[in-house]
Amino acid sequence: MTVFNLGSINADHFYRLPHLPAPGETLAAQDYAIGLGGKGANQSVALARAGAEVRHVGAIGEDGRWMVDRMTAAGVDCRHVAELPGASGHAIIEVETSGENLIIVYPGANRAISPGQALFALNTARAGDWLVMQNETSAQVEAAQAARAAGMTVVYSAAPFDAGSVRAVIDHISLLIVNEIEAAQLCADFGVTLQELPVARLVVTLGARGATWYDLAAGTQVSAPAFHVAPVDTTGAGDTFAGYLVAGLAEGLPSADAMRLASAAAALKVTRAGTADAIPARAEVEAFLKVQPSE
C-alpha cells in the first residue's frame, strides 16, 4: 500500500526557555535551533521511518528546499511537493524544561496548495492506498472526495482543530484522529456523544494516559496505555503516533498492535529534542517494545 500525505511542511524554530512566558513577559532563550517540522512533514517522516511507502503532497517557498532534501533523506517521496512564490510555512516553538511547549505557526505555502495539485498527485493512487491529511493545508475537501471515490482509506488528524474543517470532510473520512480536548469540542459542535459521531473509526489520544481506538460501527474499543519515559520535548509526539499508527494499519497490523507500536514510537520521540528529525526508526521502536512488560 502507498500512503499519500497531503500535509504541511514547516521550518521549526526552537527556543528553549526556563518556563513558558506569561503575557507581557520577556524571556531570554537558553538555546536555539532550527529543524524540519509541520504536522504533515512530521507524519510523513514517521510513516517512512515506520517502513511505509509514503508520497508527500505539499508546497514550500524558495526558502524551503532544504526541508525537501531532509524529507527525502528520511525516505519520503517528494515528487508532489511544489515550490511556490512566497515564504514556506514556519513555526515558533517555545519549550520549557518540563518538555511542555507553546507553538505559533505561519502557514505560508501550505495554504497555497491548489486542488489541481492534490488531484494530480492522487491520480497515481490505487484502490486500497491511503490518504493522510491534517488541518494545516488547503485542498483538503477536494482531496478527501477524490480519495474516497478512488477506494482509498482516508485518515484525518483534526489539528489545529476547527469544527468547520472537520464537518467539511467527515463524510469522506475512514479514520479520525483527535486529542481528548478536540474530541470534546467536536462532540459539542455536533451535539452528540463520542459514540454518536458520524465516522466509522476514531482514535482519541490522551497524552500521558495513552490513547483509545473506537470502532463506532461495531461498538468496540481498544485502549493503548502510554509508556512511562522522562520527557524532554513533547513537540511532534502526536504526529509520530499518527504516522506510526497509519503505517501499522497499512501493513495489516490489528488495531491493538498498531496502537501499541504508535504509542512506543511517541514515547521514544518525547525523550528527544526536536520534531521530524527526532522521530525514531522502526528498529528503535521494536527494540524498545522488547524490553517493555507484557500487558
Per the annotation, does 248 bind a ligand? no
**161: its cell numbers:** 482543530
Per the annotation, does 269 bind a ligand? yes
Helical H runs in the chain?
Answer: 39-49, 65-73, 115-122, 140-149, 163-169, 180-190, 237-250, 255-269, 282-290
Per the annotation, does 290 bind a ligand? no
**Contact yes or no for 2/76 (Cβ under 8 A):** no
Whose CA is closest to 48, among 77, 7, 81, 8? 77
**Contact yes or no for 248/50 (Cβ under 8 A):** yes
> E strands, the chain, where?
2-6, 10-17, 31-37, 53-60, 77-83, 89-96, 101-106, 130-134, 153-157, 175-179, 201-205, 211-215, 220-224
Per the annotation, does 39 bind a ligand? yes
Determine how β-strand 175-179 pairs with β-strand 10-17.
unpaired
The DSSP secondary-structure symbol of 2 reads: E
Q: What span, in angstroms and rounded, lies between the C-alpha atoms of 38 and 115?
A: 20
Per the annotation, does 110 bind a ligand? no
Per the annotation, does 99 bind a ligand? no
**193: its cell numbers:** 456523544
Per the annotation, does 79 bind a ligand? no
Of the listed 31, 162, 239, 257, which one is catalytic? Answer: 239
Q: What span, in angstroms and rounded, lies between the C-alpha atoms of 64 and 240?
A: 22
Per the annotation, does 70 bind a ligand? no
Per the annotation, does 183 bind a ligand? no
Q: 31 an active-site residue?
A: no
Per the annotation, does 42 bind a ligand? yes
Per the annotation, does 53 bind a ligand? no
Per the annotation, does 135 bind a ligand? no
Per the annotation, does 163 bind a ligand? no
Question: Binding site for K(+): which residues?
Answer: 233, 235, 269, 272, 274
* Binding annotation for substrate: 10-12, 38-42, 136, 239
* Active-site amino acid positions: 239
Q: Which residues line the annotated binding site for ATP?
A: 179, 205-210, 238-239
